[in-house]
A and B are shown apart, each in its own frame.
Chain A
C-alpha cells in the first residue's frame, strides 16, 4: 500500500499546484473580468456601473493570501465564483448543466471505442493475417484518417438532418424534463447514438492498432507458449494469458483518454450541439467569461488527475507487480 500512498501524495500535490495556478494566473494577468464585460458592452458602461460590477464579481483588493484563503474556502463549497457571461449566476450553475452530458458522451464513447478496439486488436493479433486482421484494422484506420469534423458534419447532415433517422442535436428531446422514466432515458440514449458513434468511428483504429501491437509482442512471450503447451483452450490462452498482459500498457492511454474526456469532446459537442462542457468552453472563450473558463480548465486538470489515479488503482488491481 506504500505505492498507493505515494501516488495519492503525488496527485494531491499536483491538484494543489493546479488549483493554486488557477488562482494565481488570472491575478497575474493584466485586467479583470469587469474589463471583459466592459469590452463586450462596447465601452458604453458608466464608470460607476463598472465599479459596482467589480464589487458584484467579488473582485477585491485584499492581500493575496487572504484572497487565496477565501478562494480555497470557496472551492471546498464548490463555489467557483460568478460567471460573467451568465452574470450573476454562479459558475457552478453553468458548469452543472454540461458536466453530466460531457461525462456521459465522452465516457460512453471512450469506453466503447476502447473495449471494441481492444477486442478487435486482440483477435487480429491472435489470428494474424486472418480475415479480421486483414480487413478491420486497415478499414478502421482509413475511417479514422478522415478529418473528424468533416465526418461528423456529414453524419449530422445526412443521418440527422436530411434522413431524420436519428437525432443530431441535444442530449434529449426538447420539452422533456430529466426523470427516471423510460421516455426520458430512451430519449437520452437515442440522442447519444450519433455523436458517440462518430467518436468511436474515428478513435477505433488507434485502439485496435495499439492493442494489436502489444498483443503481437505478448504472443511471443514464453508464458503464452507455455499456456499453449499446457493444452489450455485457445480462448483461455488468448484472453487470460496474452490479452490480459497486453492490456496493461494500453491502460495508460485509456486513462489519458478518459482524463481528456472533458476537453476532448469539444468538436463533437459543437457539431452535434450537445450541451456539454466542450461547448461551454468554446462559448466561455468567445464570450471571454474568464471565471467560467478557469473553472473548466480546473475541471479538466482535475479530471486528468482523477483519471490517472483511476488507472493507477486499476493497475493495482490488474498488475500484481506494482502491489509490492
Chain B
C-alpha cells in the first residue's frame, strides 16, 4: 500500500493497513451501491463518529493522522519510535525555525536569526522575547540550551532528524543571556544547522525535575505551541485546544484540534468521505472519484512529491553480480518502465524520478542540467546493447556473468502493495534484458536486516532526505555511510562509495555559505547522474486531504505555502494559517 511512503520513519501501521486493503475494496464497492439508499437516512441514534454531546466543537478541526486502537496519554516527543501522540512536536511544542521543503523558505519561529562564526565551529541563535509557556512561565534561551543538553545527556532520547549526529560533534550548548544560545562544535558540520533548527524545545522548569526523561509520559504537556490545552482525554477521543498564552495569538483562527479514534485506514477513509474529517494525511486510492467527487466544492487534496525518492538498490558487493559496473547499473535502470510503475503502483500520484535522484522537496537545489540523463528513460534496446558490451552474454533467455546465470532475488516488504506492484513490473522489465528477477516478499524486520547487512542482490527501498540534498547524497554514495557486507548499514545499502562525492560532501559540510552549498550540490547531482549509485524510481508523494466546509486557508497547489500533510514537520505553518469560516453554521 501507499501508506508506507507517507512518512518515512514513523509509519508502522503500513503492514496492518495492507491487511485492510480487501476490506476497503468491499467497502468502496458498497459505497457505490449505497449512494441511492442514503435517501433513507434516518437519524434515530447518535452515530459513531458524530460530534460530542457535551462540549461545543465549533472551530475544532477534526484530524485523521494516527491510526490507533486506543489513545494513551503520552506527550513525550523526545522518546524515539514515534509512540507519542500527534501533534506533540510541531504542535504543542515548537522548533526554533521551520524550513519548508516545498517553498525552500526558512521561517523564523521561536528563534529570530542564526549566525555561524567564520570558522563555522560555533553557531549562535537569537530567540524572541515575549514568548510564554502555556502555564504562563516566560520562555527563554535557557530552555533551549536545557533541551539540547537534555538530549546530549540522555542517549535514550532521540532528536529531530539527524540531531544525534550533530550532538556527537557538539561540545557545548549555552545560553549566555535570555535570548541567545551558543553552540560550539568539535568539527565543522554545517548541515547540522537544520537539525538544530527543527528541534522542538521543552520547558526547563518542568523537565529539569523529571528523574528519567526516557520513561516520562508527560501527560500534562506545557508547551509554547498554538494548541496545548486538553479538556477531554478518553481512550476513544481527545481534544487539543488553544494555548491561552500563545505568542502569536493573532494568527490562530481555529479553536483547536480533535481526535476521534480511527482504528484503521478504512475507517479513516469512510469518515473522510462522509465529510467528518477536516484535515487528513491518508492514502486514498482514486482520490478524485472517491473523495473529491463527493463534494467537489469543499473536498480537496494535494500530494506534493516532496518525500524521499524510492530506489532500486543493487548491492555492488554481492558475490557474482556485475553491479559494480556503472554501465550495468544504468542499463538495468533503462529497462525499467517508470511510467507504468507510477501509473499502476502509485495511482499517478507521483512522477518518474529524474537522474538527480532528488524528489520535489528540493526546489532551490535541483540542477536541471543533471536531471535528464538518458539512463532514467526506458530504452530496452540500449539497455541490451550496454549489457552486451559489458560482456554479459545471453545464454538462452538469461545473461551470464562469470559463467553464472543472472538470476537474482528481488526483495520487497511483504504486504506493502505499492512496492510489491513496482517490483513486479520491474521483474517483467528485467526479463526483457535477460535478467531473471524473482520477487521475494519478506517480513519488514527480516527485509530490514537483510538490506542493512548487505545480504541481498536487488531490493526496492527508501533513501535519506533533509532540507538540503546533503543527507540524500551522503546516504547513497559516501564512504561515511559505507559499511562492508556483513556489517549493519542504516544507509548506503548498495555499498557504493564515490571519492569524488566524498570530497564534495566534505566541502558542503564545511561551508555555511548557501550559494557555495548550492554550487557543490550541483556537482553532487552530476556525480549521481554519472554514477547511478542506486536506481531512482519515483519521489514519494505526501498524502494530504482537506475539507473546506468549515475551515479555509488550506494549502494546495494554488497556494503551496507548506508541505501540508499532517505528518509534515511544517504543519505549524498550516495550523497558524487556517481559520474557521465566518459564515459557518455550527457543525453537527
Contact = CB atoms under 8 A, between A and B. Distances in A.
Interface of A: 31, 35-37, 39-46, 48-49, 51-53, 55-56, 82-89, 93-94, 97-98, 149-150, 153-154, 157-158, 160-178, 183, 187, 190-191, 270-271, 273, 275, 279-280, 282-283, 285-288
A172 to B, nearest CB: 7
Interface of B: 8-10, 12-13, 15-16, 19, 23, 26-27, 30-31, 34, 37-38, 40-55, 57, 68-74, 76, 79-83, 154-158, 164, 212, 214-217, 232, 234-237, 239, 260-264, 267, 270, 274, 444-445, 448, 452, 462, 488, 490
Contact of B234 (A37, A157, A163, A177): A177
Given A158-B34, A275-B236, A286-B15, A87 B51 contact: no
B38 A174 contact: no
B527 to A, nearest CB: 24
B72 A175 contact: no
A98 B70 contact: yes
B74 A280 contact: no
Nearest to B49: A169
Contacts of A166: 44-45, 47
6 contacts: A52-B157, A88-B79, A88-B215, A157-B34, A161-B47, A177-B232
Nearest to A287: B12
A97 B373 CA distance: 56
Contact of A85 (B12, B79, B157): B12
A104 to B, nearest CB: 14
A177 B238 CA distance: 10
B154 A43 contact: no
Given A42-B8, A176-B54, A165 B69 contact: no
A154 B50 CA distance: 20
Contacts, number: 222
Contacts of B13: 286-287
Contacts of B48: 160, 167-170, 174, 191, 273
Given A162-B34, A174-B49, A176-B52, 9 more contacts: A42-B448, A44-B490, A49-B157, A56-B156, A88-B215, A157-B34, A162-B41, A167-B48, A275-B263
Which 8 pairs between the two chains have the least Cβ-Cβ distance? A175-B52, A52-B156, A169-B48, A286-B16, A48-B155, A97-B235, A279-B69, A167-B48
Contacts of B214: 52-53, 56, 88
Contacts of B82: 40-41
Contact of A87 (B79, B234, B236, B445): B79
Given A52-B154, A53-B156, A190 B45 contact: yes
B47 A168 contact: yes
Nearest to A55: B156
Among B69, B79, B158, residue most surrounded by chain A Cβ atoms (within 10 Å): B69
Contacts of A94: 70, 72
A95 B71 CA distance: 11
A174 B50 contact: yes
B38 A162 contact: yes
B16 A43 contact: no
Contacts of B50: 167, 173-174
B543 to A, nearest CB: 18
Contacts of B9: 41-42, 44
Nearest to A56: B214
Contact of A164 (B45, B83, B235, B267): B45
Contacts of A183: 53
B73 to A, nearest CB: 8
Contact of B81 (A84, A157, A174, A190): A84
A150 B27 CA distance: 9
A65 B346 CA distance: 52
A166 B47 CA distance: 6
Contacts of B68: 283
B452 to A, nearest CB: 6
B53 A176 contact: yes
A83 B82 CA distance: 13
A175 B74 contact: no
Contacts of A45: 80, 158
Contacts of A273: 48, 261-264, 267
A187 B51 CA distance: 13
Contact of B54 (A43, A46, A86, A175): A175
A286 B19 contact: yes
Among A43, A52, A168, A273, residue most surrounded by chain B Cβ atoms (within 10 Å): A273
A14 B562 CA distance: 58
Nearest to A40: B12
Contacts of A39: 444-445, 448
A153 B26 contact: yes
Nearest to B69: A279
Contacts of A173: 46, 50, 52-53
A56 B215 contact: yes
B339 to A, nearest CB: 28
A160 B47 contact: yes
A153 B452 contact: no
Contacts of A270: 263-264
A85 B83 contact: yes
Contacts of B72: 86, 89, 93-94, 97
A181 to B, nearest CB: 11
B16 A282 contact: yes
A46 B44 contact: no
Contacts of A48: 155, 164
A169 B234 CA distance: 15
A8 to B, nearest CB: 34
Contacts of B44: 164-166
Given A53-B80, A273-B261, A280-B69, A175 B53 contact: yes
Contacts of B80: 37, 41, 45, 49, 53
Nearest to A184: B53
Contacts of A175: 51-55, 57, 232, 237, 239
B18 to A, nearest CB: 9
A41 B45 contact: no
B351 to A, nearest CB: 24
B503 to A, nearest CB: 25
Nearest to A86: B72
Contacts of B38: 162-163
A128 B504 CA distance: 89
B321 to A, nearest CB: 23
A280 B72 CA distance: 12
Given A42-B9, A175-B237, A283-B16, A86 B83 contact: yes
A12 B255 CA distance: 55
Nearest to B14: A286
A166 B50 CA distance: 11
A164 B16 CA distance: 28
B217 A88 contact: yes
